[in-house]
Chain A
Amino acid sequence: MTTVEHAAGATRASGRIGLDRQSITGLVFGVLGIALLAGVAPAISGTSRRFNFEPPPDPAGIGFHPPTWVIAIGVLFLLTAVLGFAPPEARRWATPARLLSALAVIPLLLVLSLALSDNPSTNIVNLFNESLVLATPLALGATTGLWCERSGIINIGIEGTMLAGAGIGYMTYATIGDAQSTGWLWFSILISVLAGGVVAALLAVLSIRFGVNQIVGGVVINLFALGLTGFLRSEVIVKTGITTGVGTSEFGLPLLSEIPVIGDQLFRGKPIYWMMYLVVIGTWLVMFRTPWGLRVRSCGENPHAAETLGVNVVRIRYQSVILGGLIAGLAGAWFSMESQTRFEDNMTNAAGFIALAALIFGKWTPWGAFGGALLFGFSRALGTRLQFLGVEVSGFEIPSEFLQALPFIVTLVVVAGAVGRSIPPAAAGQPFQRSK
């Protein structure tokens, strides 16, 4: 094709009428922007508010004028909307603008919630730290899903695997360590991890050896874990008479936790929380930088191609699913021995499913999944914070259930538009039959 024809082709392509996802996202931002500028900014209180960086008394922080921020973010949204329909030369700015706008939703939520409450200030460093901590089981669970799905096995049994880890680990701790000794605590965490591995092995056998539908297999795991841990709680844990005990304890990272103002809040944490980072980094390294990781990914994309190159697909899938299970077991230990030191029925409370959402949100990559987990962790932390702040709209106090759900809804809607379509590994969910 000559250059002229190329140009003609490009014009035809862009001249097409129709709404794609990007234009819709642009429109949503446009509507939000107008609403912020015309509706919200004039309506909210003009009194100055403060973001603190440390707990009282006399915290460091920045004061701000809420309407100014709302207007600034509103302008950004409008600009994003306009760029979406701009001529092709200006369009390359559209994608960064969308991402920026998506990120701006987080400060917007913070500014609005503070402006609409009676409290003049809130500690945002602490809020960020809470988000990270609450993201721990989600990031671990998403990593579990990552290992399974990248190898070709859809695992919706993450929830049950976590729950089994939480229950069996705590049962061990309560029965042999009286939920008191540090040595038995670590032993019990190890038991949690192994229990996760065993439950995942069950899923692996069902879906790989017997070719059971993977969704069905996962549901079975979830029901099985719920029943098993409920039984163990009432028959073993309750009978020990131990209701709570000593969980893992916080420690600060050397040097980093010495940083003034933020160090003590951001770089102090409990061990499973720190291990979560190691698991994410390790997963990224192993999956994308080692031969074994390459083979795992090939099994999730085209197992038959992998087989023709002498890759043992069945073995790789077993290994990946069980590795994922060990990670889910660790997430279970977070619930019953780190976040709290006790075990309740269904204590994971759908974290395994939110982890799956984080995985999909993160487009089946370790860092994306971590980002997704962080976003959901933030949503949860903010929901709790909003309840403390007591947000009112024109004298009407918003019900706490709605405040809990709101951050999830807003972040999901807006960021889904900016992140876009997520494509799973091609062979995920497909049973593999070895050639004979």
Chain B
Amino acid sequence: MAQASGGAARPVLEVEGITKAFPGVVANDDVSLTLNQGEIHCLLGENGAGKSTLVNMVFGLYRPDQGTIKVRGEEVHFEDSGDAIARGIGMVHQHFQLIPVFTVAENIILGNEVTKGAFLDLDSARRQIDSLAERYGLAVDPDATVGDLSVGEQQRVELVKALFRDADILILDEPTAVLTPGEVDDFFGVVESLTGQGKSIIFITHKLREVLAVADRITVLRAGRVVGTATAEGATQQSLANLMVGRDVVFRVDKAEADPGAPVLRTQGLRVADDRGVETVTGFDVEVKAGEIFGIAGVEGNGQRELVEAVCGMRPTAGGRVEILGQETTDWSPRKITELGVAHVPENRSKHGVVAQYTIADNLVLNRYHHRKFSQRGVRNTAAINAEAQELVEQFDVRTPGVDAVIDTLSGGNQQKVIVARELTGDLKALVVAQPTRGLDVGSIEFIHRKIIELRDRGVAVLLVSAELDEIMSLSDRIGVLYRGRLAGTVNAADATREELGLLMATGSSEGQR
């Protein structure tokens, strides 16, 4: 880890007393932060704590209401991000700011074009990109089309984009949220090689393990204010989590022994093809009983998505059968399956979970708007919908200005709470949840986990799919490992070890080699 070299730390970026208000909310309230040369400074906080707002001001996308920003001791007033870039600040956004139909080289030079006469000089751009890529160990192919790249590769393009502009202060906004565990390790390698070459980094995250692994110093934000600073040595996961959430956080999920009843959800020899027509679920058998959580672990891309979509009626099956409560429901419509008492928390929140431009109230009744309670003779009962929404918003602790706010204006965590509130309400028999806490902060994760356990205790059969092994292990009663579209093995959660599951996930067999 690159500590600030020498004795005296040299600040490259000083943020002093920044306040920024949006209509109805103070996003940053008197925030100060210092970034030293060659340091990795973690900005930690829950979703909506104001981390992104703060760095967007440093990057010139927002203008502060009060306070000053100094770069290398000099006060700056950025009109747009072009000004920030000119001062050597680069930012990798949480949602990549890339143009999918452009090549890597075009994405990198945009706004800072390399020219020969009046025309673009892509050859010399390519050479510059190759040399940057080699210097920092960021392999990218300048001629590849960005839309064809994996998420990890796209992130490297974003980094090269910043370095191409000679950035020496890099802001990384939740860079690891989208990466697989293996990619995260590679990414940390890159980050350290960057600080090794004198770059200074603001690293935004809410993953405590990562903070302790890479940070030199840590600033914790809560509700727009700085609530603590720490060094990596002096902090623990528990102390940081408590600072972040503002109360004691329970990491272990408390749950009683499961009391499984009759089988609720059963698949036999289920086969499903993905969008390209390749069968990714290749004969999947499972039986989930009332009152138990069956967790499906597995490396992503082993058929999880297709499995969930087929069970919920969103994707046609290619063979086999699905039974719910003893009835065959293979290839039923999603609504018919929903009416049976099956809830679905989808993996893709924005695509399948919410209608981004609808209000919170409308999103909360998406699965029930046609029920007698909410519409009579084809006319919506707005009062009943709003009353229901108000109740759910309170019950599920959705932080919002009101139920008539457009859901797109909420943070990811709050959107997920809306989805969970909608799906977990009603007379449920089975629940299918995919990646229920992806991208969420500690507080929200804890809350959603508790809700899932509550449902189990009420006798609902839960099928849980998650890429987070910790989540699978702490919630599930039984764990199945999905490997190339079928169950490679099923273990009782109480007896499962990380090693055994990891081996099954990687090789499909608990003996390792097949």
In the complex, A237→B110 CA distance in Å? 49
- B111 interface residue, CB < 8 Å from A? yes
Min distance, Cβ B506 to any Cβ of chain A, angstroms: 14
Given contacts A12-B278, A301-B102, contact A309 B81 (CB under 8 A): yes
Closest to B111 in A: A309
In the complex, A352→B82 CA distance in Å? 38
Chain A contacts with B in 276-316, Cβ cutoff 8 A: 285, 289-291, 294-295, 297-298, 301-302, 304-312
Min distance, Cβ B163 to any Cβ of chain A, angstroms: 14
Stretch from B113-121, B178-186, B202-210, B386-394 that touches the partner: B113-121
- B98 interface residue, CB < 8 Å from A? yes
A289 touches B119 (CB 8 A): yes
In the complex, A307→B81 CA distance in Å? 7
Number of A residues, CB within 8 Å of B: 26
A295 touches B101 (CB 8 A): no
A426 touches B100 (CB 8 A): yes
In the complex, A75→B371 CA distance in Å? 59
Question: A295: which of B93, B111, B278 is its contact (CB, 8 Å)?
Answer: B111
A426 touches B120 (CB 8 A): no
- B99 interface residue, CB < 8 Å from A? yes
B62 touches A436 (CB 8 A): yes
- B85 interface residue, CB < 8 Å from A? yes
Question: A302: which of B63, B82, B99, B119 is its contact (CB, 8 Å)?
Answer: B99
Interface secondary structure of A, over-half rule: helix
Closest to A293 in B: B120
A301 touches B85 (CB 8 A): no
In the complex, A358→B273 CA distance in Å? 37
Min distance, Cβ B135 to any Cβ of chain A, angstroms: 21
In the complex, A103→B118 CA distance in Å? 37
Chain A contacts with B in 379-436, Cβ cutoff 8 A: 426, 435-436
A12 touches B277 (CB 8 A): yes
Question: B120: which of A289, A298, A302, A308 is its contact (CB, 8 Å)?
Answer: A289
- B418 interface residue, CB < 8 Å from A? no
A304 touches B97 (CB 8 A): yes
Instruction: Give the number of A-B contacts (CB < 8 Å).
Output: 84
Question: B113: which of A13, A291, A304 is its contact (CB, 8 Å)?
Answer: A291
A294 touches B63 (CB 8 A): no
B99 touches A301 (CB 8 A): yes
Which A residues are in CB contact (< 8 Å) with B85? Answer: 309-310
Min distance, Cβ A17 to any Cβ of chain B, angstroms: 10
In the complex, A260→B186 CA distance in Å? 68
- B76 interface residue, CB < 8 Å from A? no
In the complex, A285→B102 CA distance in Å? 17
* Chain A positions 302 through 340: 1 when the CB is less than 8 Å from some CB of chain B, otherwise 0: 101111111110000000000000000000000000000
A301 touches B112 (CB 8 A): no
A12 touches B279 (CB 8 A): yes
Which of A13, A307, A310 counts the most chain B CB atoms within 10 A?
A: A310
Which of A306, A307, A309 counts the most chain B CB atoms within 10 A?
A: A309
A426 touches B80 (CB 8 A): no
In the complex, A76→B63 CA distance in Å? 65
* Chain B positions 355 through 371: 1 when the CB is less than 8 Å from some CB of chain A, otherwise 0: 00000000000000000
A309 touches B100 (CB 8 A): no
- A55 interface residue, CB < 8 Å from B? no
Which B residues are in CB contact (< 8 Å) with A16? Answer: 273, 277
- B498 interface residue, CB < 8 Å from A? no
Q: Which 6 A-B pairs have the closest CB atoms?
A: A310-B82, A309-B111, A291-B113, A305-B97, A16-B277, A435-B61
**What are 24 A-B residue pairs whose CB atoms fall within 8 Å in the complex?**
A12-B277, A12-B278, A13-B277, A13-B278, A289-B120, A290-B118, A290-B119, A294-B110, A295-B111, A297-B99, A301-B99, A301-B102, A305-B96, A306-B110, A307-B61, A308-B59, A310-B83, A310-B85, A310-B112, A311-B111, A426-B100, A435-B56, A435-B62, A436-B62
